[in-house]
Amino acid sequence: MNYVTIGIVVIAAFLAALIFTSLEIPVLRRKQAGQNIREEGPKSHYAKAGTPSMGGIAIIGAAIVGCAVGRYYSIHLGVVILVFVLFGAIGFLDDYLKVVKKNNLGLRAYQKFGLQIIISVAFAVYMAMYSGEGTAVWIPFANINIDFGIWYIPFIAFVLLAMTNAVNLTDGLDGLASGVTAVVSLFFAVAAVTYGAIAGAGVFCCALTGACLGFLVYNKNPARVFMGDTGSLALGGGMAAAAIVMHFELLLPIAGFVYVMEALSVILQVVYFKLSGGKRIFRMAPIHHHFELSGLKEKQVVGMFWGIALICCVFGLCIL
């Protein structure tokens, strides 16, 4: 795998995403698969009600096309794609119940999280026992490998679960999750080429970059389609799985600091709200809504978060 391959795969996935998304939008409109807007959300978002959701289907299809063009077929790549698709399937089922069947609850929390746990543990077991990669984890800064032994499986399952749900929380503004993920997945693609990581996983990251950029054409403000949980869960699961396969799991919270920031803002808000008897740290969580309610326009918040993602990815390359 080289930089030419990155370019070819990114372009192929980008074009596929453009085509798939343009074909998907009218179908979603006919199915009346419109986005439901939370009443407790920012009032400025009410105008988005009815915008087609479940656009993540196009992202998944485009990424698979990109991987096929890359032609670095391997068991590792197959497993990463499988995790990517399975997490997307959980999101699809949740979206389908909410936006097509008009069941506002969608999947129950225990159902959604339970399915994620099953996939995450299965992937962790594969990595520990069948991948041939062992149970060692590379530690940034120290530049050493530490064998996690029996703790490897719960650690990997946690990383996959945490990143998947963090990306899901990030998907709250037009172009936010798709733009940030394009930057972060490109970082892992470049890291794979530069430092000789497993090529199949690197190709997947290239494909994910192109798919996100193609989708972003329709998802940027004002969005003509949303990715829904179909897209956000697939993006988080696929990218985390690829990073783990490449032994870059501890670079995820560095390059993907935006996701970490979003998830932490929700955790801190909930904990402080309960401990303080109803007080809040942020105007609204996740934190991108806090900045909106503080007076920034949606495009400004998204641009700021894209910039943070880029800075964190450059820092990640410096660590490497």
DSSP class of 252: H
Per-residue pLDDT 10s for the chain (320 aa) are: 778 888 999 999 999 999 999 999 999 988 776 666 665 556 666 667 778 889 999 999 999 999 999 988 899 999 999 999 999 999 999 999 988 877 777 889 899 999 999 999 999 999 999 999 999 999 998 889 999 999 999 999 999 999 999 999 999 999 999 999 999 999 999 999 888 777 789 999 999 999 999 999 999 999 999 999 999 999 999 999 999 999 999 999 999 999 999 999 999 999 999 999 889 999 999 999 999 999 999 999 999 999 999 999 999 999 88
| Closest C-alpha among 225, 215, 289 to residue 48 | 225
Q: What is the structure's pLDDT at 99?
A: 84
What pLDDT is stored for residue 100 in this prediction? 80
Q: How many CA atoms lie within 13 A of 108 on its CB side?
A: 3
Identify the pLDDT of residue 320.
81
CB 253 within 8 A of CB 239: no
Cα separation of 112 and 115, whole Å? Answer: 5
- Distance CA(288)–CA(35), nearest Å, equals 19
Residues 244/156, Cβ–Cβ less than 8 Å:
yes
Q: What is the predicted pLDDT for the residue at 45? A: 67
User: Is there a contact between 199 and 72 (Cβ–Cβ < 8 Å)?
Assistant: yes
Say how many C-beta atoms besides its own lie within 10 A of residue 29's C-beta.
Answer: 15
* Joined tokens for residue 159: 């990383």
Which stretches of 60-147 are assigned E, i.e. beta strand?
136-139, 144-147
Residue 30's pLDDT is 86
